[in-house]
Chain A
Amino acid sequence: MTAEIGNFCLVLAFMLSIAQAAVVATGLRRPGLERYSEGLSLAAAVAIIGAFAMLVTAFVRSDFSVVNVYQHSHTDKPLLYKITGAWGSHEGSMLLWCLILLVYGAMITLRGGGLSAGLKHKALGVQGLLGAAFTGFTLFSSNPLWRLAEDPNRVWMLEAAPLQGLSLNPALQDPGLAFHPPMLYLGYVGFSVVFSFAVAALIEGRLDRAWARWIRPWVLVAWSFLTAGITVGAFWAYYELGWGGWWAWDPVENASFMPWLAATALLHSAIVMEKRDALKAWTVFLGLLAFTFSMLGAFLVRSGLLTSVHAFAVDPQRGILLLAILLVTAGAGFALFAVRAPDLKPGGLFAPVSRETALVLNNLLLSAALCSVFLGTLYPILMQAVFNKTMSVGEPYYLAVFAPIMIVALLLIPISTLMAWRRADLKGVLQRLGLTFGFAALAAAVGLVLYRGASWWSQAQYLIGLLAGFWLIFGSFKFLWDRTEGKLKRATGLPLSTWGMLLAHIGLGVFVLGAVVETHAKQGATQVMAVGDTLKTGRYNLTFDDTFAATASNYDAQGGVFSVRDDNKRVCEARPQWRYYGASGSSQSEVWLCFTPLSDLYIVMAQPQTLPDGRAAWHVRFFYNPWVRLIFLGPLLMALGGLVSLADRRLRLGVPTKAKPRPSEDTSAGKVET
């Protein structure tokens, strides 16, 4: 019965979403019914929760009469992977997408206390339309709850329910799958709320500072989840795929990075709009763009256009449907924007030197960076489709085009945070930052001396990267020092949004340091090894001491016992594995990481083989990844910063304002220079 109940709930969610949009539509003509959209959004959320719960139940129970369970599960899998298998496929992940979409819709109702009724209901209407589109797509073309007999593709010529499933891709049998897709989707789909608010405001024709304040928490929530989701994904790729890297500029990775860049720009422009009543059209545009890129990502991953480690194999038909949803929703949003934007009253004038100008520069640079990622991702696809020519765009391109743009943006951050709103004194700010820059340059120079670099060019890249990272971190501390004058009491009095900003920018600096050091100073070696052999990477020696066998319910593994020595001093014992997943007949290596606080020694064994002399041997890769921890720590700090800023009381909706006036926002940059 589970699948039937689930299907019923899914149909219900679809119909309730349509109703939610419909009542708002009628309300545009004759007001009255639109307030029911609130109740409908709650009901739709409950229905979709029901559908999703039924899917998880089917997985937990290994109900192989359900196509999706049959294809992606197995009785021998541990319970955790049975549950996570529910979103390990295209169909299941679409249901997860719908779940999050409708729950966000309900959150508009629940958390929208301070909103004007008109705006709230119109946003709910748009959210209902989005909900109907995606639940409809899931229901009719990608339903994870179909029974074998109902599957319209009819590829399963099975009379009775099979006794065993085909199991899940071994790479997905990992705790990473428990967190990565849900977090990513909480990010992607969170921008739907911003999209709905943007369309609602365009319909109402009213865009003011209050609007910017309302969307800011939603942007922060979605942005923080997206940041964390991408990070978890990168870490997962790092330790699961066994190639020693963490970011490949793979189209699917880029697909998650594009909404992130758009949202980061939005985060900053929304602040300008809130504080200065300016950049209205641009902020709305970014609001539409962020979710458009989210949908583009969902489409790319499922289009069949890409071969990627992360992509789902899906027939093109469903890809076309997703593309249609994307084009219709985004197209309608931007068309409305084109009609309405000229009517928006331009906001206040900017002084050329002010925090708002700096934030405009931030938006300019982030947009250009976004453009390079967008072009780099779509160019090969378009070249293939239009000219039938194959080409590749990879790391060298992004290092040449994306990186310089971002470096300029990073160098601007400490300056911009010290600038006052409305009118700043650039010379004064630069003077205040002189010593900070000196320290950053010193730290970078020390780093360069320690770096046994190759060419002048790689040394220059290294130096600039380190400088940017240290400058960001030191600059944030300088800001903190100026605002508190070193007094703890004043530090506790700083608004949470200021702490959020500091954490995010420091996290960015931490990430930059990690990325620069890891990519430049990484060392690695590969060799076919049997017991007794050694392999050297940098100053580390790896010795293959012994082998062992291990079994779990879902795999059989052969493992190696390796000792790692640093000039004869033993550093750690590594036990990587080569696992054979009988249920799917595939193998997968299990990486071993020797953790140190900052750096990793990374050992993988793969491709078992027999040497001519009869000894068993493996293909062993041994990497030294210096400061790699910072690459994952930095973005988590950023996400934390977003959440801290979110907790700021002033951002919460419906909270009555305090009686005591806060210090004027305009002085939030510390001293106002005159």
Chain B
Amino acid sequence: MVRGLEPRMNADKREYFGLLRRPRAVGSAMLAALRSMCVYSRSFVVPICLLLATTPALADPAQDEARAEALFREVRCIQCQSESIADSTAPIAADMRRLIREDIAAGKDDVRIREELRARYTDYVLFRPRFAASNLLLWVLPPLIVLLGAGLLFWLGKKQKTSRTYELSPEETEKLREIMKADD
């Protein structure tokens, strides 16, 4: 989830190692990350989360713009055809970009901005589906296939190793000869 906070495109002109030279930026990024993790896990009960949730964000213009760019790519232009507001030239996309920039400037974090967009325009507006029960299959099935498949392969490999070594039966030897013949 932390991912979404991070700018994916470097539309700004910051340099490599730029982050390291700006401790404030690192600080605010880490704060935002921690905070969004808290919100996602819904564990507001944990006092430290409460504390964080009330800390004002440390403003950093470059970081803000990068955050905005990353968000733009996640938000659908609601009157266009499968275009994000980052890509669209429609007036409504420009409005939405402006609103998101204002929200960021007002110190709202990404999670809150997403929630507000969702409240206003429904799930349709976000290109990243929520990690919710109704979307479980969407998120979990593909990795599950890999894990189960790999597990199955591993199990078969083990079983095979313990069951027998290669010793061709006469029948198989005959078949093998046939195969080799057919191959050339």
Contact = CB atoms under 8 A, between A and B. Distances in A.
Nearest to B2: A457
A636 interface: no
Contact of A368 (B12, B82, B83, B143): B143
Q: Which 4 A-B pairs have the closest CB atoms?
A: A394-B127, A352-B157, A396-B128, A455-B6
Nearest to B88: A243
Interface in B118-156: 122-129, 134-135, 137-139, 141-143, 145-146, 149-150, 153, 156
Interface string B66-77: 100000011010
Given A390-B122, A397-B129, 9 more contacts: A243-B87, A308-B81, A350-B160, A357-B153, A392-B76, A392-B82, A392-B125, A457-B3, A524-B11
B171 interface: no
B142 A352 contact: no
A368 B126 CA distance: 24
Contacts of B126: 392
Contacts of A524: 11
A371 B141 contact: yes
Contact of B179 (A209, A456, A458, A520): A209
A392 B124 contact: yes
B134 A383 contact: yes
B174 to A, nearest CB: 14
B92 interface: no
A365 B127 contact: no
B9 interface: yes
Nearest to B13: A452
Interface in A282-329: 307-309
A455 B179 contact: no
B68 to A, nearest CB: 12
Contact of B145 (A367, A396, A455, A664): A367
B127 to A, nearest CB: 3
A389 to B, nearest CB: 7
A458 B6 contact: yes
Contacts of B6: 454-458
Contacts of B84: 394-395
A105 interface: no
Nearest to A619: B89
A519 B139 CA distance: 23
25 contacts: A250-B82, A251-B82, A307-B81, A364-B145, A364-B149, A367-B149, A368-B142, A375-B137, A375-B138, A375-B141, A389-B122, A390-B122, A392-B125, A394-B76, A395-B84, A396-B73, A396-B74, A405-B142, A448-B16, A456-B19, A519-B8, A520-B8, A522-B9, A607-B89, A619-B89
Interface residues of B, number: 59
A395 B4 CA distance: 12
A607 B129 CA distance: 33
A449 B87 contact: no
A351 to B, nearest CB: 8
Interface string A77-103: 000000000000000000000000000
Contacts of A457: 2-3, 6, 8
Contact of B153 (A361, A401, A607): A361
A368 B129 contact: no
Contacts of B24: none
B160 A523 contact: no
Interface string A450-474: 0111111110010000000000000
Interface string A492-535: 00000000000000000000000000011111101000000000
A339 to B, nearest CB: 24
Contacts of B76: 392, 394
Contacts of A379: 129, 135, 137-138
A593 to B, nearest CB: 17
Interface stretch (A140-148, A225-233, A655-663): A655-663
Interface string B158-184: 001100001000000000000110111
A349 interface: yes
A522 B10 CA distance: 8
Contacts of A449: 16
